[in-house]
Amino acid sequence: MIFSPTKIKKSFSCALVGLKEIFFQQNFLLMVAMGAGAIFLGFFFGISYFEWLILIFLIGFILVLEALNTIWEKILDFLEPKVSEKIRCVKDMLAGGVLISCFFSIILGGLIFLPKIIIFFKNLK
């Protein structure tokens, strides 16, 4: 049978276990906190529908990259338990990919929020 509710339930259950494992990683929690802060700012400044699309996409993109980074690090630790220069280099490149996405997200977040922050502080005077 192609559609099996039992298999789907088991698959979903496994995915939730995996999410729990990823969620409690330090870097992932940091990204979640930063995303929550950006969402708070979105509500505070009343950003537009299009800006919400960008913001939610960027948060999701970074969280997925951070999850993939964690997954690959676990795989590499399993395949090569002792630290080697090649494995360290691969892990550094993975982390660098996440960092690149964070930099671009900061730039786009600045384009969304900086004008609103400037207007907010001008109106305080």
pLDDT tens string 65-100: 999 999 999 999 999 888 889 999 999 999 999 999
Alpha carbons within 13 angstroms on the beta-carbon side of residue 42 total: 17
The CATH number assigned to the domain with range 25-124 reads 1.10.287
1: confidence class by pLDDT, cuts 50, 70, 90:
low
Distance (Å, whole) CA 108 – CA 51: 10
pTM of the model: 0.86
Q: What's the pLDDT score for residue 3?
A: 78
Q: How far is Cα of residue 57 from the mean position of the Cα atoms in its chain?
A: 10
Is residue 125 pLDDT above 90, yes or no? no
Report the chain's mean pLDDT, rounded to a whole number. Answer: 93
Is residue 8 pLDDT above 90, yes or no? no
- CA dist 102 → 84, 96, 107, 110 (Å): 27, 10, 9, 12
What residues does each domain of the chain span? 25-124
Q: H-type helices in the chain, by residue range?
A: 5-23, 26-45, 49-79, 85-124
